[in-house]
Amino acid sequence: MPHTTSNPKIHEGRNLKRFREMLQIKQDFLAFELGEDWNQQKISLLEQKERIDSNILEQVAAILKIPADAIRNFDEEKAMNIISNTFQEFHDQSGGVNFQPTYNVNPVEKWIEALEENKRLNAELLKAKDETIRALEKLIGHI
């Protein structure tokens, strides 16, 4: 009989790291969003803590746009168990009888979407550059 505990040891720092990586968010970005007191090294140390201060956890959860309880209660072993029990291999093909997926991907359309996204991002970069130049000119004017 396997031994189970009613209060599993959950490592909030490791859970934070898992969610941050799943969302493809860098430690530097998270530190920037948390404020001037934070840097990449402090985020790394935070991710090594078993328990994270509730206020900090709430701030981080808001930045990641996930509930703080998701970080507090995430159990990787249970998640893997659910995944392995949900997605099974059908060696006898009984689960895939007459299943023929249709993929409707138009490469030209995707290419045009990518070009439009590039144009939009380029315009944002130019706008940010112009704002930076104006701010620097204003700063130089005050000297």
Domain 12-86 has CATH 1.10.260.40: yes
**CA Rg, the chain, in Å?**
23
| pLDDT value for 58 | 94
The pTM assigned to this predicted structure is 0.51
Q: Do residues 20 and 64 touch, judged by C-beta distance below 8 A?
A: yes
So what's the pLDDT on residue 107? 84
CB 57 within 8 A of CB 68: yes
pLDDT at 3: 45
Residue-level pLDDT, tens digit, the chain, 143 residues? 444 444 567 888 988 998 899 889 999 999 999 999 999 999 999 999 999 999 999 999 999 898 888 888 877 766 666 556 665 555 555 555 556 666 777 788 889 999 999 999 999 999 999 999 999 999 898 87
Burial (Cβ within 10 Å: 0-12, 13-18, ≥19) of residue 92: exposed
- Kindly state the helix (H) or strand (E) to which residue 136 belongs, with its residue range: helix 107-141
- How many CA atoms within 13 Å lie on the side-chain side of 20? 21
